[in-house]
Structure 1
Amino acid sequence: MRFTFVTLFWPLMEGYFGDSILQRAIGKGLLEVDHLNPRDFTTDRHRKVDDTMAGGGAGMVMMPQPLFDTLKHLKEASPRVHILFTTPVGKPFRQSDARRLAKKEHVAFVSGRYEGIDERVVETWADECFSIGDYILTGGELPSLVMADAISRIVPGVLGNADSLAAESFESHLLEAPAFTKPKVFHNLSIPSELLKGNHSKINALKKTMALSKTKYFRPERYLKFTQRESDEKSIY
């Protein structure tokens, strides 16, 4: 899996791949990470990449020429690249998107800055546009890293224990059950005793009960989807 980050501020992102799971994945050749800076493609002698908003308004907008030429260069070098734009108006990024995108061989993330990107760039080059939430950030670098991280974990071999993916939150409509470790008692708080008895059928039943309770409390809309799916599956039989 290859990731290309189109950003004005690669130093903000580079360190994320310098440690832990993603660093090991790069070392094993499972992930490849590179970047392109639109300033390197601008025709402006001052390396300018932004200008005032057409029609008036506060803030600056990333101009079309630098990004057009950046993405043209990228597409010519890698015709099968799948180009994603990070934008507050994009569709919400979901775990299902991460699973789907993990099957691509090359994904590029275009990170906007200022008041956004000239829409003609988006209309011409975007394969998909994503948002990671209903809030505004100073740039698209963090959303790009969030999506790259989520996608990376699904690439075969990246996680040490691939079986852990199956039980994670959002793999079904349920959130993942609470997790515990040693010691058995900490500050007078105990691990649920059933988790310590070695009866795996009872452990699984308890984990499902805890996952149901957690989902119902924190994400009631997902709980309703889960119960509806369970009801639909029972009605088939």
Structure 2
Amino acid sequence: MTFTFVTLFENLIAPYFEDSILKRSLDAKIIEINFENPRDYTRNKHHKVDDYQAGGGAGLLMFTQPLFDVLRHIKQQDPQAHIVFPVPAGKPFKQIDAKRLSKKEHIVFVSGRYEGIDERVIEVFGDELFSIGDYVLTGGELPSLVMCDAISRNIEGVLGNVDSLMEESFEEGLLEAPSFGKPKKYEDYEIPSEFLKGNHAKISTLKNEMSILKTQYFRPDLFCRKNIKH
């Protein structure tokens, strides 16, 4: 899987891949990351990528020419490249999207800055638009990283233990059940006794019940969507 980041600020993204699971995946060539800077494609002598908004309005906008050229270049190199724009208007990014997109060969994340991107760029090149939450950030780099991380961990070989994917939050529309480690008692706090008895059928039943209760408490919106009689 190849990830290409179209961004003015490569250094905001590159360090994330210098440690832990994604670094190992890069070293093993399971994933590959590339960067394209729109400023390298500008045709004006000052290498500007921003301009005033048509019709007025506060703030500058990333204008068409550099973005059209960089995205055309990417598509010429790989016509199958799947171009994603993280924007507030996008649909909420969910686990089901991360799993689906992990089957792609090449995903391109386009990070906006300033007051955003000229809408014509999005209309012409956008394969999908996603939002990671109902709030505004200073740029698209963080949402791009969030989505890249979520997608990457669903790619075969990225996680050491593939079984861990099976019990994660949102896999069945519920939050993952609480987890407990050692010791069995810390200060006055103990692990639920059923976890210590070795009966895996009962543990599985208990985990499912705890998953339902956790979802009901923390994410009633998800709980209602599941229509669980409880």
Counterpart for residue 31 of structure 2? 31
Amino acid paired to 1:111: S
Counterpart for residue 94 of structure 2? 94
Counterpart for residue 3 of structure 1? 3
Counterpart for residue 128 of structure 1? 128
Between the aligned partners of 2:67 and 2:117, the Cα distance in structure 1 is 9
Counterpart for residue 85 of structure 2? 85
What count of residue pairs does the alignment treat as equivalent?
230
Q: Deviation of residue 184 (structure 1)?
A: 1.4
Q: Deviation of residue 29 (structure 1)?
A: 1.0
Counterpart for residue 153 of structure 1? 153
Amino acid paired to 2:105: E
**Counterpart of 2:13 in 1: which secondary structure?**
helix
Counterpart for residue 14 of structure 1? 14
Counterpart for residue 168 of structure 2? 168
Between the aligned partners of 1:72 and 1:143, the Cα distance in structure 2 is 23
Residues 111-155 of structure 1, C-alpha deviation per residue, up to 9 Å, x if partnerless? 000100001100110001100000000000000000000000000
Between the aligned partners of 1:220 and 1:16, the Cα distance in structure 2 is 33
**Counterpart of 1:80 in 2: which secondary structure?**
coil
Between the aligned partners of 1:226 and 1:55, the Cα distance in structure 2 is 46
Between the aligned partners of 2:84 and 2:208, the Cα distance in structure 1 is 35
Q: How does 1:203-218 map to 2 (within 5 A)?
A: 203-218=203-218
Residues 54-97 of structure 1, C-alpha deviation per residue, up to 9 Å, x if partnerless? 11111110010000000011000111100000101111101111
Counterpart for residue 111 of structure 1? 111
Amino acid paired to 2:6: V
Unaligned runs of at least 5 residues, structure 2:
none
Q: Deviation of residue 227 (structure 1)?
A: 3.1
Q: Deviation of residue 26 (structure 1)?
A: 0.8
Between the aligned partners of 2:227 and 2:157, the Cα distance in structure 1 is 33
Residues 181-200 of structure 1, C-alpha deviation per residue, up to 9 Å, x if partnerless? 11212231111111111110
Q: Deviation of residue 224 (structure 1)?
A: 2.0
- Structure 1 residue runs of 4+, over 3 Å off? none
Counterpart for residue 234 of structure 1? none
**Counterpart of 2:210 in 1: which secondary structure?**
helix
Q: Deviation of residue 225 (structure 1)?
A: 2.3
**Counterpart of 1:34 in 2: which secondary structure?**
strand
Between the aligned partners of 2:67 and 2:187, the Cα distance in structure 1 is 55
Counterpart for residue 198 of structure 1? 198
Counterpart for residue 235 of structure 1? none
Counterpart for residue 51 of structure 2? 51
Between the aligned partners of 2:152 and 2:82, the Cα distance in structure 1 is 15
Counterpart for residue 177 of structure 1? 177
Between the aligned partners of 2:106 and 2:184, the Cα distance in structure 1 is 45
Q: Deviation of residue 226 (structure 1)?
A: 2.2
Counterpart for residue 224 of structure 2? 224
Between the aligned partners of 1:193 and 1:227, the Cα distance in structure 2 is 29
Between the aligned partners of 2:84 and 2:169, the Cα distance in structure 1 is 24
Residues 163-213 of structure 1, C-alpha deviation per residue, up to 9 Å, x if partnerless? 111110011111000111112122311111111111101111111111011
Between the aligned partners of 1:197 and 1:45, the Cα distance in structure 2 is 72
Unaligned runs of at least 5 residues, structure 1:
232-237
Normalising by structure 2, what TM-score?
A: 0.98
Amino acid paired to 1:79: P
